[in-house]
Amino acid sequence: MKLVYKNLDKGCGSIKVIPDESEDMWHAYNLICEGDVVTASTIRKVQTESATGSSTSNRVRTTLTIKVENIEYDTQGCMLRLKGRNVVENQYVKMGAYHTIDLELNRAFTLTKPEWDSIALERVDMACDVTQKADVAAIVMQEGIAHICLITSNMTLVRSKIDIAIPRKRKNNPSQHEKGLTKFYEAVYQGILRHVNFEIVKCILIASPAFVKDAFFEYMIQQATKLDQKIILDSRSKFMLVHASSGFKHSLKEVLQDPAVVAKMSDTKAAGEVKRLETFYTMLQCEPARAFYGKKHVQKAVDALAVETLLISDNLFRNQDPIQRKEYVKMHDDVLEAGGDVKVFSSMHVSGEQLAQLTGVAAILRFPMPELEEDSDADDSD
């Protein structure tokens, strides 16, 4: 995301940005809240009446400023749809009239907030940092099914789903099975060429049950050699073959927890999220008095300055209730102020989906707090 300008004074003000890649729309979705003011170019249908009384309808492009009342995130179209009332005089739209603005890639918009909290400012810095890129790709597959995914620092994007029926292997006629497999491998191979940016990606995981991954990798290298596709041959060291229980997206969870994968991805942010969550689960099993989840218990630990690592979902910062949103922002800031570490998980990342199952907020403590366990027992008995 390109930052055109930032004009903030004592917590209020505006920024103008240009989203230039798909992940920037996710950042914009996290930045814009109900009640914020957005200025952007949009198309409005305008009716004009001639001197003879006939009316004509034209679509005109104009710049509108609306106070946001509703936000929709279209992941397929890669756009944000904002609905709200016009708050700045415009020749085509009356003051107070409703309008919907579509925020799209490579189209600038200005965001004005009455209060820029630490989470929003952190999000702007993250979005405008050119080093934040999708540096991991993953292909999870089984015979006939494959998902090609890009793992960015904030989300897991399924770029392509390949589903091809493969005839069963028969003793009398094995050729049909082989033809089906070849067709499937070719579709996956072409999907990788189309969706993986080899200049940015540092690690490409190929995961499957049994030997599907090995057979596909062998096919891919043979094809690349045959067609002299150097982009594949030069990136051979980036590929890593790992076990997965199936060819579906949920298998990424186990793939990303594999110690060999963690070591390979050690310099990516995505690996950091998976590692922190794995540490929390281990602590929950081995030292339950030092691992808690849920707002009530985590808040008590924060108040006691006991939190070493706070794991929190960005979904909580999009809470429509401004009071609750401020409570989570304060929790985030209090932990940092006390010298703790905070990891904000993306709700569109595979690790963020796991954290959501634990209420979206969890904490690893510096020291045991058995009294919180007693509170849990008391709640259960009630």
pLDDT in tens, 312-324: 998 898 887 888 9
Burial of 305 (0-12, 13-18, 19+ CB in 10 A): middle
pTM: 0.61
Q: What is the pLDDT of residue 233?
A: 92
Looking at residue 378, its pLDDT comes to 53
| The pLDDT value given to residue 131 | 46
Mean pLDDT per 10-residue interval, the chain, length 382 residues: 86 90 85 93 79 75 93 85 93 90 93 91 80 75 94 78 88 82 95 88 91 95 94 91 92 85 67 82 93 94 95 88 89 94 85 89 94 65 46
* Segments making up each domain of the chain, as ranges: 2-127, 136-267, 270-381
Pick the CATH number of 136-267 from 3.90.1640.30, 3.30.420.60, 3.10.150.10, 3.40.220.10: 3.30.420.60
What CATH number has the domain spanning 270-381? 3.30.1330.30
Contacts of 43 (CB under 8 A, 6+ apart): 59, 60, 61, 62
In CATH terms, the superfamily for domain 2-127 is Pelota, domain A (2.30.30.870)
For residue 173, what pLDDT is reported? 72
Give the pLDDT score at 257.
Answer: 83
Q: What is the pLDDT of residues 157-182, one digit of tens each?
A: 888 999 999 988 777 777 888 999 99
Q: What is each CA distance from 35 to 67, 98, 112, 114, in whole angstroms?
A: 6, 14, 10, 9
* Two domains, one topology: 136-267 and 270-381: no
pLDDT reported for residue 54: 72
